[in-house]
């Protein structure tokens, strides 16, 4: 069974344009090639995660933040449901802790969404900052193991990993 057959989720052109109008270099979570796991579906979903967090970080007013928070919530629901499905279908042994982390993030985003207007923007911005700090560790500790397992489960062998040396000629 192929797990990385196609990317199912992408930003609509209108939302991508909206993101491009509010992004500023000082308020972004950079995309790093070290986030790539070699699974097309997971990698694309992780790029969307970074874009959605960046949108929340770049929002300068409550109304635009609320739009970004809702978009992040929808993304997180799809993102985590897809990974949870992959873990369940493949019999991934470390699924419980991984699913628990997903649940904690979804619980947190929903708690932010129901805050009163006067608190949601400030608390939500701090939430986005915490997501930016949380994501690299989650990816390394949880998602990397899942991606490796999916290759092993599908092929019976360990994945090959190629890295490039940046800044070297």
Contact 67, 37 (CB under 8 A): no
CATH number at residue 53: 1.20.120.50
Is there a domain that residue 114 lies in? yes
pLDDT of the residue at 5: 34
CA distance 67 to 129: 17
Domain that holds residue 119: 36-155
What are the CA-CA distances from residue 64 to residues 15, 16, 71 (Å)? 12, 14, 11
Q: What does the pLDDT read at residue 47?
A: 97
* Rounded distance between C-alpha atoms, residue 93 and residue 15, angstroms: 37
What lies within 8 Å, CB to CB, of 153 at 6+ separation is: 90, 91, 92
84 touches 102 (CB < 8 A): yes
Question: pLDDT for 25-49, tens place per residue?
Answer: 346 899 999 999 989 999 999 999 9
| Nearest residue to 35 (alpha-carbon basis) of 24, 22, 51 | 51
Buried (b) or exposed (e) across 133-149, using 16+ Cβ within 10 A? eebeebbeebbbebbbb
In a domain, 110, yes or no: yes
Whether 148 maps to a domain, the answer reads yes
Count up the domains in the chain and report the number: 1
pLDDT value of position 156: 79
Q: Is residue 5 part of a domain?
A: no
Nearest to 58 by CA among 110, 125, 135: 125
Write the CA distances from 40 to 4, 36, 96, 139, 165, integer angstroms.
Answer: 5, 9, 23, 15, 22
In a domain, 8, yes or no: no
Q: Is residue 150 part of a domain?
A: yes
Q: Outline where 23-139 has alpha helix (H).
A: 40-58, 62-90, 95-113, 117-138
The two tokens of residue 43 are 């990698």
Residue numbers of the chain with a pLDDT score lower than 50: 1-10, 19, 22-26
pLDDT of res. 14:
56
- The verdict on residue 59 lying in a domain is yes
Question: What pLDDT does 166 receive?
Answer: 60
Is residue 26 in some structural domain? Answer: no
């Amino acid at each position: 069974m192929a797990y990385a057959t196609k990317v199912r989720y992408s930003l609509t052109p209108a939302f991508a344009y909206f993101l491009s109008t509010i992004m500023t270099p000082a308020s972004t979570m950079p995309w790093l090639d070290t986030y790539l796991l070699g699974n097309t579906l997971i990698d694309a979903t992780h790029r969307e995660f970074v874009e959605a967090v960046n949108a929340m970080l770049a929002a300068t007013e409550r109304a635009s933040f609320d739009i970004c928070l809702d978009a992040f919530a929808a993304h997180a629901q799809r993102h985590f449901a897809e990974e949870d499905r992959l873990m369940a279908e493949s019999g991934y042994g470390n699924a419980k802790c991984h699913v628990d982390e997903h649940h904690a993030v979804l619980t947190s985003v929903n708690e932010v969404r129901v805050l009163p207007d006067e608190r949601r923007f400030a608390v939500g911005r701090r939430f986005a900052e915490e997501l930016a700090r949380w994501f690299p560790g989650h990816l390394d500790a949880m998602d990397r193991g899942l991606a490796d397992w999916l290759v092993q489960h599908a092929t019976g062998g360990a994945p090959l990993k190629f890295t490039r040396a940046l800044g070297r000629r």
